[in-house]
Amino acid sequence: MPQVSRRSSYRLTFGVLAASTAAFSMLQSLVSPVLPVMQRDLHTSAGTVTWVLTAWLLAASVATPLMGRIGDMIGKERTLLVALAAIAVGCLLAALAPNIAVLIVARVIQGLGGALFPLSFGIIRDEFPPARVISAVGAMSAVIALGGGLGIVLAGPVVAALNWRWLFWIPLGVVVVTGLLAWRFVPPSPTRSQGRVNWLAAVLLSAWLVALLLPLSKGNAWGWTSPLTIALLAAALVLAAAWVATEMRSGNPLIDMRMMRLPAVWTTNIVALLFGAGMFGVYAFLPQFMQIPSSTGYGFGATVGEAGLLMVPMLATMAVAGMLSGPMATWFGSRAQVVAGSLLATAASAAFAFAHAHPWQVATAAAVFGIGIGLAYASMTSLIVHSVPMAQTGAASGMNANIRTIGASIGTAIVSSIVTSDLRGDGLPTEHAYTSAFIALAVAAALSVAVALLIPRHRNAPPASETRMHIDPAAEQSDPELTPVAG
């Protein structure tokens, strides 16, 4: 495979990885504003069309740790190309999908690209100078969050000018180009781990997630006390316990439960779970709320493009907060920023619930929500990378990203269930349904405040058997091309 100078091109490598993760992040949210359009075009129900988003999240939740582990064994750059190929195939199938079933299958295939997150973190760890690793990992986390927000904004203009199928044709072209650049400029992994893939853990992980998400999304239709709903929820509990036990005993875990026991890690990951649920709840259903016809008495009758524009304040504040998080950590610390971000997300979600009579109110609340997301995401990454040995930076950061995705899967299913639980005669959700959903998001954000307060004030020392490389603060500030966003 032709390569540029291996150790002198880490900035170029970062650019290719950032483009890849940004494209994938946009795919996770591009469909959110156009779910009502897809529902009409494909003649399906509101509950079923939500699985266009949920199926993607579910596949990414499993693929992220599984393919990350495979990348450690056969080479991260090879697995990166496989993930990009899966995204391309999924985009092609989605663009041609004749019905909702094929579209959901296509989204599952796209979700295999979730491996981009741990692979990117691992490549950064392998290829970057030690003084650049933490800054680059934080910057990549900011790219992931911003990509998701950008997808919502871009969906409107694309659908207005073309149609929703171009939401997959355009990313297909981007992913093909990015794949060629990755093949050319991402160097081979310098080290590869021994061992094997824990396929049992992968099966159990996917099984308990499916068993949980199905009743959460279909509980209204099936009945919350129906035998099927209760049986699946019980199965999810049993399968989740079996998965944890399997990971604890495994010498090659997909998600390292031993690492999860570190106080700064488990608390930060629970916050990530709650933030993932809240962020995707907003991504998926706030644009839909804006598109409800004004004749209902509570919607704005916005087009897909107008709904995207109303989300721009969130994207802008998210970007600014993410960039300022690193410098602010010197004065306030990463823990304080996670707490502040959680408080802002709580206030914004409450505003969505109780102050949504005018577009400017929703846009203002979205801007506040964006500040909370920007502060919390960058700071969570900083807390994670400062709490584990340098050799585990990629694994720990990838695990944190995966837990956000699992939270997003659960949050999307729950909010979908609430929104579709109370429908008007014309099939649209009632205002009470949306209000209840936003209250649920506010509760999740409030729980994240409580958990964030449990994060240790001082970084944990890594295990005695591990040693951390020293990060030279002077060197950390010497590279203007990588803006530090981690504290």
pLDDT band, residue 193 (cuts 50/70/90): low
72 vs 6, more confident: 72
Per-residue pLDDT, 91? 93
Neighbours of 185 (CB within 10 A): 17
pTM over 0.85: no
pLDDT band, residue 469 (cuts 50/70/90): very low
Residue 233 in this model has a pLDDT that exceeds 50: yes
Q: Considering only 14-18, 166-170, 192-196, 274-278, which range has the smallest mean pLDDT? A: 192-196
Q: Considering only 70-74, 128-132, 474-478, which range has the smallest mean pLDDT? A: 474-478
pLDDT (average), residues 396-401: 72
pLDDT (average), residues 317-343: 83
Per-residue pLDDT, 282? 86
Residue 478 in this model has a pLDDT that exceeds 70: no
255 vs 39, more confident: 39
Structure-token match 């802008």, residue found? 316
Q: Considering only 94-98, 290-294, 423-427, which range has the smallest mean pLDDT? A: 423-427
SS3 label, residue 437? helix
313-322 pLDDT tens trace: 888 888 788 7
429 pairs with which residues across the strands? 423
Residue 466 in this model has a pLDDT that exceeds 60: no
111-127 pLDDT tens trace: 888 778 778 877 887 77
* Residue-averaged pLDDT of the chain: 80
What is the C-alpha to C-alpha distance for residues 348 and 22, in angstroms, rounded to an integer? 25
Map 126-182 to HEC letters: HHCCHHHHHHHHHHHHHHHHHHHHHHHHHHHHHHHHCCCCHHHHHHHHHHHHHHHHH
Tokens found for residue 460: 């944990």
39-78 pLDDT tens trace: 888 888 777 887 887 788 778 877 777 777 777 777 788 8
164 vs 130, more confident: 164
434-460 pLDDT tens trace: 999 999 999 999 999 999 999 987 544
Residue 341 in this model has a pLDDT that exceeds 90: yes
Q: Report CA 215 to chain centroid distance, whole Å.
A: 22
